[in-house]
């Protein structure tokens, strides 16, 4: 089955913009018969009338108006990708913007950026840290090319490259009476005062959902948006907290005990997504490969409770 091609789309867009077959033909250095034939073919392939034309005027139909938005977006995306690829092929230079969950920046981005600098010194990498909501908004607005996000059952995300499974753990002071346990259940910590990240963060929302599924109450006495503040509250013996392993402090330093959370066992999957609606640029694909290879490398250090996705 034949499908519309880029030539069909470009001719249709030019006619819609210029309101004339003749003007569109002149702009594209085509004959009027060739232009008219292309539109006839396009309408036949789509099975819908895109243009209403008389001997004097050309008007875009209702269906044509709807299709025009998609056609313009497809052409802009293709033109952008081709231009980026040509520029990279000629000079090896490029620019890519990556958004990353604030909770994953510290452990993930530094080794990735260091590897990019060595492997592709002519590619400028701009990174933005944000929460899930902010990252998805940036992706929709075209403000970033690639992002490291957390897979979420509440949101349909097509993770292109899975990276890590990050298990949630309980953090308490090293002298807390629970610190000697091998693991802690949700029911056990529900009887203790908790200090937590505020509602609205992806981490807190995931915790709330999983505890609600098990009908386990949480006695939250303090909330904050900052992990360092949260750990300060724990160190001051103001409560326990629950965090993904990527954010848990190093228990070998002595101030904290980090214990696996059980029943419910909670984890998040971290992975890469590319900007939707357009093909990834050459620089974005190279960065994606570097991130994947860096994470899979034996030299990439991860804390207990974080598992590499094979």
Token output for 87:
């520029």
- What pLDDT does residue 208 have? 95
DSSP structure class, residue 279 = P
Residue 284 pLDDT > 80, yes or no? yes
Q: Please check whether the two domains, 92-163+269-308 and 168-266, share a CATH topology.
A: yes
Q: In the beta sheet, which residues pair with residue 113?
A: none
What rounded mean pLDDT belongs to the chain?
89
CATH, range 6-89: 1.10.10.10
Instruction: Pick the more confident residue, 253 or 11.
Output: 11
Length, in residues, of the chain: 310
Cβ-in-10-Å burial (0-12, 13-18, 19+) of 228 comes to exposed
What Cα–Cα distance (Å) separates residue 147 from each residue in 33, 143, 308? Answer: 47, 11, 18
- What pLDDT does residue 156 have? 62
Backbone angles phi, psi at 243, to 5 degrees: -140, 155
CATH superfamily of 168-266: Periplasmic binding protein-like II (3.40.190.10)
Token output for 192:
């203790």
92 pLDDT band, cuts 50/70/90, is: low
Distance separating alpha carbons of residues 261 and 97, to the nearest angstrom: 35
Q: Where are the domains of the chain?
A: 6-89, 92-163+269-308, 168-266
Residue 81 pLDDT > 80, yes or no? no
Q: In the beta sheet, which residues pair with residue 195?
A: 222
- What pLDDT does residue 122 have? 85
Mean pLDDT of 207-221: 95
CATH, range 92-163+269-308: 3.40.190.10
What Cα–Cα distance (Å) separates residue 42 from each residue in 11, 21, 32? Answer: 10, 15, 15
Cβ-in-10-Å burial (0-12, 13-18, 19+) of 134 comes to middle
- Residue 169, number of CB atoms within 10 A of its CB: 24
- What pLDDT does residue 1 have? 47
The pTM of the full predicted model, rounded to 2 decimals, is 0.68
Residue 127 pLDDT > 70, yes or no? yes
Q: For 224-242, how does the pLDDT look when each residue is reduced to its tens digit (9 = 90+)?
A: 999 999 999 999 999 999 9
Distance separating alpha carbons of residues 92 and 27, to the nearest angstrom: 33
- Residue 222, number of CB atoms within 10 A of its CB: 17
Token output for 217:
């109450």
Instruction: Judge whether 90 and 231 are in contact, CB under 8 Å.
Output: no
Residue 39 pLDDT > 80, yes or no? yes
Instruction: Judge whether 138 and 130 are in contact, CB under 8 Å.
Output: yes
Token output for 29:
């250095």
Residue 111 CA, chain-centre distance (Å), reads 19
Q: Indicate the range of 72-81, 99-108, 207-216, 251-260 predicted with least confidence.
A: 72-81
Provide, rounded to the nearest whole percent, the portion of the chain with pLDDT above 70: 94
Residue 254 CA, chain-centre distance (Å), reads 36
């Amino acid at each position: 089955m034949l499908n519309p091609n880029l030539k069909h789309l470009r001719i249709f867009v030019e006619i819609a913009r210029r309101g004339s077959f003749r003007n569109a033909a002149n702009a594209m250095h085509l004959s009027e018969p060739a232009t008219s034939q292309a539109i006839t073919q396009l309408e036949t392939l789509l099975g819908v009338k895109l243009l209403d034309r008389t001997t004097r005027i050309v008007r875009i139909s209702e269906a044509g108006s709807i299709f025009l938005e998609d056609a313009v977006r497809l052409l802009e995306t293709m033109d952008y990708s081709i231009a980026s690829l040509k520029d990279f092929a000629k000079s090896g230079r490029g620019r890519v913007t990556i958004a990353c969950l604030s909770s994953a920046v510290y452990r993930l981005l530094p080794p990735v950026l260091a590897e990019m600098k060595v492997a592709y010194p002519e590619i400028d990498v701009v990174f933005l840290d944000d929460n899930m909501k902010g990252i998805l908004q940036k992706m929709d607005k075209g403000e970033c090319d690639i992002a490291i996000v957390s897979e979420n059952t509440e949101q349909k995300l097509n993770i292109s490259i899975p990276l890590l499974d990050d298990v949630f753990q309980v953090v308490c002071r090293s002298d807390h009476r629970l610190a000697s346990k091998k693991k802690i259940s949700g029911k056990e910590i529900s009887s203790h005062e908790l200090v937590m990240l505020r509602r609205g963060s992806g981490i807190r929302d995931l915790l709330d959902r999983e505890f609600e599924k098990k009908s386990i109450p949480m006695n939250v006495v303090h909330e904050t948006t900052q992990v360092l503040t949260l750990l300060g509250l724990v160190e001051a013996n103001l409560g326990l907290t629950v965090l993904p392993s990527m954010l848990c402090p190093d228990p070998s330093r002595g101030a904290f005990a980090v214990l696996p959370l059980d029943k419910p066992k909670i984890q998040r999957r971290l992975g890469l997504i590319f900007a939707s609606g357009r093909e990834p640029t050459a620089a974005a694909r190279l960065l994606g490969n570097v991130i994947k290879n860096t994470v899979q490398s034996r030299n990439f250090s991860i804390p207990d409770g974080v598992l590499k996705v094979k």
